[in-house]
Structure 1
Amino acid sequence: MLHVDVRENNVDQALRVLKKKMQREGLLREMRAKEFYEKPSVKKARQAKEAIKRKRKADRVRTAKMGF
């Protein structure tokens, strides 16, 4: 559970701190993912697409380091 102190009635700063903590914990991404039901077949296809994207990015980084 996240805990944010509001100092000197500064709500804006407390909100910024809360958003930063939520982002670090991965709560924003999880909330967006669970906002609507995702069929298992769609979820599997999305995960495969993300895996391909990660692989291509890793290949690009590797080739940039190697200098090919």
Structure 2
Amino acid sequence: MSLMVERREGESNERFLSRFRQMMQRTGILREVKRRRHFVSKSEARRRAYAKARQRARRNAARAQGNSGYR
């Protein structure tokens, strides 16, 4: 996946960098790089997904009860 951002005429460095960062976010390149930084076995990925789903279910159940987690 390649990403090419050319600087526009009269564009400041700050604006150019922010445009580059926006494109990186939109394409998901940074997210993919962070995800691939360390090897995760299939069983570990499954375990993490299961834990995340359990946490999401708990959160949704608490919201359904009207408990937002604050006292």
* TM-score, reference length from structure 2: 0.61
2:39 maps to amino acid? Y
Cα-Cα RMSD: 2.5
| Greater relative CO (CA pairs within 8 A, separation 6+) | 1
Question: What is the total number of aligned residue pairs between the two structures?
Answer: 65
| Structure 1 gaps, min length 5 | none
| Per-residue deviation, 1:3 | 5.4
1:58 maps to amino acid? N
Identity %: 25
* Structure 1 or 2: more helix by fraction: 1
* TM-score, reference length from structure 1: 0.63
| Per-residue deviation, 1:14 | 2.1
| Structure 2 gaps, min length 5 | none
